[in-house]
Amino acid sequence: MAFVHPFDDADVIAGQGTLGLELLEDVPDLAKIVVPVGGGGLASGVAIAVKSQRPDVEVVGVQVDTCAAFPDSLRRGAPVAVDSALTIADGIAVKRPGDLTLALIDRWVDDVVLVGEEEVAEAMVALLEKAKLVVEGAGAVGVAALLGGQVAPAEHGTTVAILSGGNVDPGLLLSIARRHETLAGRRLVVLSRVPDRPGKLAGLLTCVAEAGGNVVDVSHVREGFDLHVRETAVELVLETRGRDHADRVLRAMRAAGYSAQPLE
């Protein structure tokens, strides 16, 4: 059986380069391409295909800083392996550049920049919310670089970010989306205390509702806290309209006499 290398093979690189040919056809004013870099096959192929016809088009590769073998390898002129490949952009988690792709990227790609894990997660959510596209971490690094400022859009002409895959675990995507909601202040987890008597929880929930908070989940927590025997802790998961609204909900709870400790 023939072994097909994922990136360090001339035929594979040529095949991936057809994406660059499509860009030349579809985007007449193409000025810059931002492409994910793992082993370097896609970036090499696209750069060769595009720059052979349009040398003026800038091609920028993007890696995640937790698994970025190319910058050091390019500086040393030889493949240098990295220790870790732990990243949400697992599709480009390649520890060592290929011998062929390293030389091609050195010659054809204008720059390779790095993005952080948080920036990748934010890009995935932005693509989901604004473009209605499910993109895996490896495919979102180009958008992450544009949003994070590591790559500036071309002043004249169109900048294209290649979204190279949507193979993302639904659980991971849900976790990233929820975390984004929390960081944006649209999802608030708050711990309060109420007397453990009928009607007291209803009073707390009424207070939250009057402040415009939407209750997603309510949990009684009776252990692990220094509580009075007639008192219970309550963990609330709330949806709000943003950080300012979340702060107003917390102030309303405190003004009504309830404790309100937001949880990270």
Question: How far out from the chain centre does Cα 127 lie?
Answer: 9
In whole angstroms, how far apart are CA 92 and each of 38, 40, 85, 123? 4, 9, 9, 16
Say if pTM beats, i.e. exceeds, 0.75: yes
H helix or E strand, kind and range, residue 138: helix 137-148
The CATH number assigned to the domain with range 185-263 reads: 3.30.70.260
pLDDT of residue 119: 96
> Distance (Å, rounded) from C-alpha 21 to C-alpha 105?
18
Contact assessment for residue 62 and residue 112, using Cβ atoms and an 8 Å cutoff: yes
Please list the pLDDT of the chain residue by residue as tens digits (264 residues). Answer: 989 999 999 999 999 999 999 999 999 999 999 999 999 999 999 999 999 999 999 999 999 999 999 999 999 999 999 988 889 999 999 999 999 999 999 999 999 999 999 999 999 999 999 999 999 999 999 999 999 999 999 999 999 999 999 999 888 888 888 888 888 778 889 999 888 888 889 999 999 999 999 999 998 887 767 777 778 889 999 999 988 999 999 999 999 999 998 886
Neighbours of 230 (CB within 10 A): 8
Are 145 and 34 spatial neighbours (Cβ–Cβ below 8 Å)? yes
- Running DSSP on this structure, what letter comes out for residue 36? E
Q: What is the pLDDT of residue 231?
A: 84
Token code pair at residue 239:
């949806």
Query: Cα separation of 58 and 162, whole Å?
Result: 13
The residue to which tokens 């490949």 are assigned: 85
Backbone angles phi, psi at 230, to 5 degrees: -105, 25
- The alpha-helical segments, DSSP class H, found in 184-218 are 200-210
The pLDDT of residue 197 is 87
Instruction: Please give the class, per CATH, of domain 10-180.
Output: alpha beta
Looking at residue 264, what is its pLDDT?
67
Bridge pairing between strands 187-195 and 214-221: unpaired
pLDDT of residue 224: 63
Residue 261 is which amino acid? Q
Sorted by where each begins, the domain ranges of the chain are 10-180, 185-263
pLDDT for 230 equals 79
